[in-house]
Amino acid sequence: MVLQGRSNAQIARALGIGVHTVGDHLKSVMSKLSVSSRTDLVAELFGRHYLPARLSGSLPSPYGWYLPPA
């Protein structure tokens, strides 16, 4: 949901949890990836997962996941 640009409040509503819980989870994820902002988090995830798949010739499925090249 972060990659979709949703706010903590939007994520909390969609998951039925508190806004502070969302923030705590995001802080934990960002700490583990050594990033300090949502922008850096998106860039890190793109660089680790999407870019290598795209450069290998994979195409995204209708759900946004990259499938192995045919």
Q: Looking at residue 64, what DSSP letter applies?
A: S
What pLDDT, on the 0 to 100 scale, is given for residue 15? 97
Q: Tell me: pLDDT of 62 over 70.
A: yes
Q: Tell me: pLDDT of 3 over 90.
A: no
Q: Residue 60: pLDDT band by 50, 70, 90 thresholds?
A: confident
30 and 44 Cβ atoms separated by less than 8 Å:
no
CA–CA separation, 36 vs 27, rounded Å? 8
Non-local CB neighbours of 67 within 8 Å, separated by 6+ positions: 58, 59, 60, 61
* Whole-model pTM over 0.75: no
